[in-house]
Chain A
Amino acid sequence: MAVVNRRSFLRRVSGCACATLLPSTLFLGERHAAAQEAVQGLDLSGKLRLADVALSLAKAQGASYADFRLCRYQTEYYEARERRLEESSIGFSAGFNVRVLLNGTWGYAGSPLATDDEVSAATVRALEMARAAARVESRPFVLEEIPAYRDRWDMPMQTDPFLISADLKISKLLEINEAALKSGANYATAALGFVRDEKFFASSRGSAIEQTRVRVLPDMEVTVIDQATGKFASVASLAAPRGAGYDYVQSYDFVGEAAKNAQNAREKLAAKPVEPGEYDLVLDPTNLWLTIHESVGHPTELDRALGWEANFAGTTFCTPDQLGKLRYGSELMTVIADRSQEGGLSTVGYDDDGVRSSGEEFPIIEKGIFQNYQMAIGQAQLIGRQKSNGCSFAEDWSCFPIQRMPNVSLQPNPQPCKLDDLIGDVRHGLYVVGNGSWSIDQQRHNFQFGGQLFYEIRHGKIAGMVRDAAYQGSTVEFWNSLAGLGDKSTYFLGGAPNCGKGQPEQSAPVSHGAVPALFRGVTVLNTERRDVA
């Protein structure tokens, strides 16, 4: 699918297993340490012992491959609405997953109870599921060789957010809302979420890998209303979720943005409606990252091309026969997949198949030509390639790893080019900032994207704000209309904490780097008109 949900980001974050707070005082810190200890417990030898219970049993029962993941998630979530704290919560979620390949059929089981007996029982359940499914397995899965790794990878981070006091975080949220209210907002909501993601992976191929990542999930939104007309307008923050420490929160001017957004919301409420028609669009990277996600990231997932997502997330127009041939976009378009980018939500040392991913960048689109799919294990040979490129991920300990996006980023223009240069090259256009609504068909052709703010461009200059706009297009046609690109000084890393895919549906965090870009002749709708065509 894609970035999940029409509901507010705030509720999404709150709804996930987010949350855990390590208060600043030593006393409270000790008490939380006790809580952590209760859900963590195991050192590496303990993890290896549990893994051995699963892997030995799976092997003894005839599995050709098995892996074991032990995962812990520490989460923390705060949300302020106007001048009060609406939610303050912490969470600890721990559990394990056993996956077996038995006679070419997958089976798995997961449980929160990480004891020898439960690991053993879960392995039996996984084998039982595989045996049952074998009845409808017409083409056994074959896995490529995977090197065995014994390694530990920890996300580089300056300030661990779980060591920052709750007081500071709560004060920050209330300060943000105060700034918005003082600047004319009728309503303001601000939230901060934090996730520590710790995984231990062991496989029958001999790997034993420990990894830790931390994610920071900020959000805020201001709303202004006009009671006389019954109209209202909202503006959301442009702050992206990141794989980062608390220093990211400290470095971002949320307070200044909140005040500015209150003014922007008033301007939006009073702005003139956009005239529908064909426009040249300058898409700010705060808008473009999501267009990249939907129209480049998802279409180039191999499991979709193989038909494995046909019943839910869909298939793709990017069929394997088009590898190396399809002109996806103009020469300016190069899109790189990586799991190494600083701040990336998909940045990690090894994927959830145990395939090394850090430092293994590959081009998805190179100078406009489709070059590579994203792959998990057991897929590459189906299109004549050798091995997975490290794009497997499971949402948590209860899930089966499936192919998910690495960081997928549009590369900057090697020639100097600033935002103003792009705007200056437009006679009749729109400059689009931030993400509004987003929707794309199940084969990734037809899309419609909104934005937070739309500015009219006339004769190379910004000519004021307009409202109720959305742009519609078809992926290949759209990317071939790419006519201008910002340079590396304009690069911005956007992202989503909640890309949905799979059945049962799993959520994945993913980042997308982008630069401002100019697209010629794109259809723009006025979404307030009933005849939006």
Chain B
Amino acid sequence: MMMDEAGAKALAQKILGLSQAESCTVSIDGGDDRHLRFAQNRATTSGAPSSRSVTVEAHFGQRSGSASGTDLSDDGLLALVRAAEDVAQRAPENPEFMPPLGPQTYGPTTAFADATANTTPAQLAAAVAPVLKDAAAKNLQASGFLDVGTGFSAFATSKGLFAYDRATSVLHTVSARTPDGTGSGWAGTTHVDFTKLDAAALGSVAIDKALRSQNPQPLEPGKYTVLLEPSAVSDLIGILIGDEFDQRSADEGRNFATKKGGGSLLGEKVFGDNVTIYSDPADPLAPGAVYSTDGLPTRKTMWVEKGVLRNLQCGRYWARKSGRAPVASPTTLTMEGGTTSLAEMIANVHRGLLFTRFWYIREVDPQTVLLTGLTRDGVFLIERGAITRPVHNFRFNESPVAMLNKVLAIGPTVRTYGEEGAGLPVAMPPLLVDDFTLSSTSDAV
């Protein structure tokens, strides 16, 4: 259930007015989704869920507590505010408590498109219909998900801060499988603007990969040169930056960025010269939210610049304690691309593998950020500069920290989507990586 800025501001003021706490923050968010899910060339579910909720955090000295709810009636809000106050008064003092921020300056919202907000259910069906038709014509089974969402969030404090943001999102993923289960292809992306979605083109990519990946043959596991398509890159980079780039845990000695003997590796060369990763809420390919935790404005933040570790996420308390400025959690993620095309990368590989996407990635060793996971929906052998044949899927055991020191070539950055990543808008390039560790094969197709 959408709410415009004026409505959100009025509601926030009303809630702040009910507060009897020494200070208070209010978060409001909500939205409307419409989605169509299909499998086996048929619609399976289609829905239109809406949501709206409020969270109130009350503070008394260094005590704080929060209450969230979906009842926005006058009685409901009053009860919610009092509940938050009760929780706060019961809590012991937290020496790390940080008072709410005062007014902040935010950049403009760029992640909203009216065309997406106005998308009809019929448009969703019209978008996926050619995909299903094409798949059926080629004797393939198409599955997928098309979701359009419109959402808002607002954050206000009793110190005068008010932030409002709204966003639209389009997510479309398509899988195509051969009826005998020996071939599978996938394609997926996200957009801000529904008119930018070319569902048929995505479907064609998945269909083409399904046809080309039929009857894969096993290949010995080991260390390979691999060409990671942007979706696969987004998973590994998203996990690294989203989960592991944390200043406090690095300073505390329990993070890959911990320096031997104490402190963090901030400012040191940690990755290869060709690696630059940043977050920019105004990024033209992958715009993100204009505010982050505690109402901190998001600015363009360089995480890695030419291989040097420039920033780690840093909350307000740890920033104060360690004498740094806070570094807001990312709301979007971009890896700087190169000029080598996918075709050129393939042409330069003597023997290697092309990966479409990853699946079920989990951290094995937090010390090194060693991850395990599997390839899925299109693995192809590259020999003497050309794709020669499909091969079985692999389980990998590899660290993105190590991987970013073995990048041989970088393609152009594109907006992409990975199921396993940080859940943020992402723009990533394809990467050609040396010595990627594949520990076993999988019979899964």
Do these two chains interact? yes
Say how far A310's CB is from chain B's closest CB, in angstroms: 4
Give A354-392 interface residues, CB cut-off 8 Å to B. none
Q: Is A438 an interface residue (CB 8 A)?
A: yes
A123-146 CB mask vs B (1 if < 8 Å, else 0) is 001101111111111110000000
On whether the beta carbons of B52 and A311 are closer than 8 Å, the reply is no
Residues of B within 8 A of A186 (CB): 252-253
| C-alpha spacing A109/B86, complex, angstroms | 35
Give B192-248 interface residues, CB cut-off 8 Å to A. 221-223, 239, 243
Q: Is A43 an interface residue (CB 8 A)?
A: no
Give A82-101 interface residues, CB cut-off 8 Å to B. 84-95, 97
On whether the beta carbons of A86 and B94 are closer than 8 Å, the reply is yes
On whether the beta carbons of B40 and A307 are closer than 8 Å, the reply is yes
Say how far A489's CB is from chain B's closest CB, in angstroms: 32
| C-alpha spacing A392/B303, complex, angstroms | 43
Residues of A within 8 A of B364 (CB): 436-437, 448, 450, 470, 527
| C-alpha spacing A91/B76, complex, angstroms | 12
Please name the residue on chain A nearest to B67 by beta carbon: A90
Residues of A within 8 A of B174 (CB): 311
Residues of B within 8 A of A20 (CB): 67
Residues of A within 8 A of B49 (CB): 97, 108-111, 398-399, 504
Q: Is A194 an interface residue (CB 8 A)?
A: no
Interface stretch of the complex, out of A153-161, A417-425, A439-447: A439-447
Q: Is B444 an interface residue (CB 8 A)?
A: yes
Interface stretch of the complex, out of A222-230, A328-336, A339-347, A509-517: A222-230
Please name the residue on chain B nearest to A128 by beta carbon: B121
Q: Is B276 an interface residue (CB 8 A)?
A: no
Residues of B within 8 A of A132 (CB): 36, 46, 120-122, 124-125
A16-38 CB mask vs B (1 if < 8 Å, else 0) is 01011101000010011011011
Say how far A506's CB is from chain B's closest CB, in angstroms: 11
Say how far A42's CB is from chain B's closest CB, in angstroms: 12
Q: Helix, strand, loop or mixed for chain A's interface? A: mixed
On whether the beta carbons of A34 and B87 are closer than 8 Å, the reply is no
- B42's partner among A93, A113, A139, A474 (CB-CB below 8 A) is A139
Say how far A528's CB is from chain B's closest CB, in angstroms: 6
Given A6-B361, A132-B46, A308-B39 in contact, is the A111-B68 Cβ separation under 8 Å? Answer: no
On whether the beta carbons of B360 and A106 are closer than 8 Å, the reply is no
| C-alpha spacing A503/B43, complex, angstroms | 13
Please name the residue on chain A nearest to B127 by beta carbon: A136
Please name the residue on chain B nearest to A31 by beta carbon: B82
Q: Is A193 an interface residue (CB 8 A)?
A: no
Say how far B369's CB is from chain A's closest CB, in angstroms: 10
On whether the beta carbons of A108 and B45 are closer than 8 Å, the reply is yes
| C-alpha spacing A110/B33, complex, angstroms | 10
Given A442-B360, A533-B221 in contact, is the A310-B71 Cβ separation under 8 Å? Answer: no
Q: Is A249 an interface residue (CB 8 A)?
A: no
On whether the beta carbons of B125 and A133 are closer than 8 Å, the reply is yes
- B437's partner among A23, A165, A170, A530 (CB-CB below 8 A) is A530
| C-alpha spacing A450/B370, complex, angstroms | 12
- B68's partner among A92, A317, A527 (CB-CB below 8 A) is A92
Residues of B within 8 A of A37 (CB): 79
On whether the beta carbons of A112 and B52 are closer than 8 Å, the reply is yes
A388-413 CB mask vs B (1 if < 8 Å, else 0) is 00000000001110100000000000
Q: Is B350 an interface residue (CB 8 A)?
A: no
Taking each of B65, B120, B259, B402, which has the highest tally of chain A beta carbons within 10 Å of its own beta carbon?
B65
Interface stretch of the complex, out of B98-106, B140-148, B321-329: B140-148
Residues of B within 8 A of A444 (CB): 444
On whether the beta carbons of B35 and A442 are closer than 8 Å, the reply is no
Say how far A35's CB is from chain B's closest CB, in angstroms: 4
| C-alpha spacing A131/B120, complex, angstroms | 12
Residues of A within 8 A of B360 (CB): 1-2, 439-442
On whether the beta carbons of A137 and B50 are closer than 8 Å, the reply is no
On whether the beta carbons of B48 and A129 are closer than 8 Å, the reply is yes
| C-alpha spacing A205/B33, complex, angstroms | 28
Contact residues on A (Cβ < 8 Å of other chain), bracket: 35 or more
Given A88-B64, A112-B51, A136-B128 in contact, is the A527-B90 Cβ separation under 8 Å? Answer: no
On whether the beta carbons of A6 and B83 are closer than 8 Å, the reply is no
| C-alpha spacing A314/B377, complex, angstroms | 10
Say how far A466's CB is from chain B's closest CB, in angstroms: 14
Please name the residue on chain A nearest to B77 by beta carbon: A38
Given A35-B80, A110-B50, A437-B362 in contact, is the A134-B69 Cβ separation under 8 Å? Answer: no
Q: Is A212 an interface residue (CB 8 A)?
A: no
Residues of B within 8 A of A106 (CB): 43-46
| C-alpha spacing A476/B181, complex, angstroms | 19
| C-alpha spacing A14/B397, complex, angstroms | 29
Q: Is B376 an interface residue (CB 8 A)?
A: yes
On whether the beta carbons of B253 and A232 are closer than 8 Å, the reply is yes
Residues of B within 8 A of A167 (CB): 90
On whether the beta carbons of A442 and B69 are closer than 8 Å, the reply is no
Q: Is A531 an interface residue (CB 8 A)?
A: yes
| C-alpha spacing A492/B73, complex, angstroms | 45
On whether the beta carbons of A446 and B363 are closer than 8 Å, the reply is no
On whether the beta carbons of B51 and A533 are closer than 8 Å, the reply is no
Please name the residue on chain A nearest to B93 by beta carbon: A84
On whether the beta carbons of A312 and B145 are closer than 8 Å, the reply is yes
On whether the beta carbons of B363 and A88 are closer than 8 Å, the reply is no
Residues of B within 8 A of A308 (CB): 39-40, 44, 143
| C-alpha spacing A474/B374, complex, angstroms | 13
| C-alpha spacing A91/B65, complex, angstroms | 11
On whether the beta carbons of A129 and B121 are closer than 8 Å, the reply is yes
On whether the beta carbons of A112 and B50 are closer than 8 Å, the reply is yes
Q: Is B7 an interface residue (CB 8 A)?
A: no
Q: Is A60 an interface residue (CB 8 A)?
A: no
On whether the beta carbons of A88 and B66 are closer than 8 Å, the reply is yes
Please name the residue on chain A nearest to B128 by beta carbon: A136
On whether the beta carbons of A532 and B39 are closer than 8 Å, the reply is no
| C-alpha spacing A89/B44, complex, angstroms | 37
Q: Is A315 an interface residue (CB 8 A)?
A: yes
Say how far A469's CB is from chain B's closest CB, in angstroms: 10
Residues of B within 8 A of A437 (CB): 362-364, 372
Q: Is A295 an interface residue (CB 8 A)?
A: no
A521-533 CB mask vs B (1 if < 8 Å, else 0) is 0010101101111
Please name the residue on chain B nearest to A503 by beta carbon: B145
Given A88-B90, A138-B41, A170-B92 in contact, is the A93-B439 Cβ separation under 8 Å? Answer: no
On whether the beta carbons of A309 and B92 are closer than 8 Å, the reply is no
On whether the beta carbons of A166 and B444 are closer than 8 Å, the reply is no
| C-alpha spacing A384/B143, complex, angstroms | 23
Q: Is B126 an interface residue (CB 8 A)?
A: yes
On whether the beta carbons of A138 and B395 are closer than 8 Å, the reply is no
| C-alpha spacing A20/B440, complex, angstroms | 45
On whether the beta carbons of A439 and B144 are closer than 8 Å, the reply is no
On whether the beta carbons of B46 and A6 are closer than 8 Å, the reply is no
14 example contacts (A-B, Cβ-Cβ < 8 A) are as follows A90-B68, A97-B49, A110-B51, A126-B47, A134-B125, A135-B125, A136-B125, A232-B254, A234-B366, A314-B444, A441-B393, A444-B444, A446-B440, A472-B440
| B residues lining the A interface (CB < 8 Å) | 1, 33-53, 64-71, 73, 75-76, 79-80, 82-84, 86-88, 90-96, 120-122, 124-126, 128-129, 132, 136, 141, 143-145, 147, 173-175, 177, 181, 184, 186, 221-223, 239, 243, 252-254, 258-262, 359-368, 370-374, 376, 393, 395, 397, 402, 419, 437-445
| A residues lining the B interface (CB < 8 Å) | 1-2, 6-7, 17, 19-21, 23, 28, 31-32, 34-35, 37-39, 84-95, 97, 105-113, 122, 125-126, 128-139, 165-167, 170, 174, 186-187, 223, 225, 227-232, 234, 306-312, 314-315, 317, 398-400, 402, 436-446, 448, 450, 468, 470, 472, 474, 503-504, 523, 525, 527-528, 530-533
Given A89-B67, A225-B253, 13 further pairs, Cβ under 8 A = A35-B67, A38-B71, A88-B90, A110-B50, A132-B125, A139-B42, A170-B92, A186-B253, A228-B261, A307-B40, A438-B362, A527-B397, A528-B365
The 10 closest A-B pairs by CB, nearest first: A132-B121, A35-B79, A443-B444, A446-B442, A441-B444, A38-B76, A133-B46, A112-B70, A311-B143, A532-B397
